[in-house]
Amino acid sequence: MPGVTAASMSARSARSARELWTGGGLSGNARRVAETLRTRGGSTRAELIATTGLSRPTVSATLADLAAAGLVAEETGTATPSGGRPASVVRLARRAGLAVGVDLGRRHIQVAVADLGHRVLAERTNRLDSGSDSDDHPVEVLDRAATMIGSALTDLGAGRDAVVGVGLGIPVPITRTGQIGSTALMPAWASLSPAEELAGRVDMPVWVDNDANLGALGEYVWGAGGGCSVLVFIKLATGIGSGILLDGRLFRGSIGTAGELGHVTLDARGPVCRCGNRGCVELSAGGRALLHNVRATHPEVRELGELVARAEAGDPVCRRLLSDAGTELGIALGSLVNLLNPERIVLGGDLGRAALMIEPLRRGLANTGMPAAVAAVEVVPAELGERAAALGGVALVLKAAEHAASHFAAVPA
């Protein structure tokens, strides 16, 4: 059978996991099955047959070769509801490689490491103080992220050659060429190519995307978006962004900047936004605007989490701010629901866990969305919380074989 065998793997024992996927270490049916497992995660033999289009004997023979090479492991599945024999699940083993996800938030850096079998092995979080805001200090933040990646790998006893790629999320539009899509939003990053900058620091291939896109991927693979054919993830934090998944694949638009919900205009004569346009959604529902407004009566409130906690405790000012923000966001979402007819909208970010926003959001949505589409869409809180974008970075690497041409990768020289 063409592809990897136990003998060929033994003869190339020094081959790194990265070379295995890029240097011809896998070919033919072995690559076809392995890439399916990398994209889908644990699968039964029946699922592999259906997904790859290969025959049962071919899938069995291919899995035997991959198992002998130490690249896949088989686990006993759970019993069926009827009490039938449980189907075993096959997934890629750690030897097949690792994927790293990095989320550069405005006030935090998060790193996650998983194997290609979709098992999360390590996570790290570093909080940034106001003087180290990532918007204004790209070099420092990238240096910290590189150190965190190295530390996580060291703790796992893994070398850099075990990592097949790094998925990097940044809270700004990213073009398909990997450039900052709106220099007005993060001017200190305007002259940088984020993927190249991080790749040079960690000596690994780096894919870069908008953090809301990665949040959508993270929730689709591990969280509240599982199984959705049309999923919209909304990141409600300092700013507002959205990630759109169609049949499990990110929709990025013609140049890569689709999903900028925060900069949809609600009032063409409204105040000027930091993006240069007027009356954007962020000006009424974004975290910056909410914190600015709450300080008129609660000058001590500095973080969105505190605003949400006070609202949940019954504070009338904070409750009203969240309610109004939910309504405005729902009005903006109506057009998106009319155009895409999503199955589910997942609310993430610091404000996404605020249950007080969901009903006002649905009311706003009902004012602008088609009734049938509004009735069909679920609006739910995210399950991954602050982990969504970092895990989405991992998912970006896991799915790289599926849509390698649709996003930018920087490979260190």
The reply to whether 226-382 shares the fold of 98-215+389-410 is: yes
pLDDT tens-digit map of 73-118: 998 766 555 556 677 999 999 999 999 999 998 888 999 999 999 9
Would the pLDDT of 407 be above 60?
Answer: no
Rounded Cα–Cα distance for residues 103 and 141 (Å): 11
pLDDT band for position 401 (cuts 50, 70, 90)? low
Q: In terms of pLDDT, which residue wins out, 411 or 316?
A: 316
CATH code of the region 98-215+389-410: 3.30.420.40
pLDDT tens-digit map of 143-172: 999 999 999 999 999 999 999 999 999 988
Structure tokens at 5: 């065998």
Task: Please choose, from the candidates 65, 122, 124, 260, the residue with its C-alpha nearest in 3D space to the C-alpha of residue 181.
Answer: 260
Q: Alpha helices of 174-260 — where are they, by DSSP H?
A: 194-202, 211-222
CA–CA distances in Å: residue 83 to residues 86, 87, 144, 222: 8, 11, 51, 27
CATH code of the region 6-95: 1.10.10.10
- What is the 3-state secondary structure of 263-308? HCECCCCCCECCCCCECECHHHHCHHHHHHHHCCCCCCCCCHHHHH
For the chain, give every domain's residue range.
6-95, 98-215+389-410, 226-382
pTM confidence score: 0.88
Q: In terms of pLDDT, which residue wins out, 182 or 72?
A: 72
Would the pLDDT of 314 be above 80?
Answer: yes
What CATH class does 226-382 carry? alpha beta
Give the other-Cβ count within 10 Å of 193's Cβ: 18
pLDDT tens-digit map of 41-80: 999 999 999 999 999 999 999 999 999 999 999 987 665 5
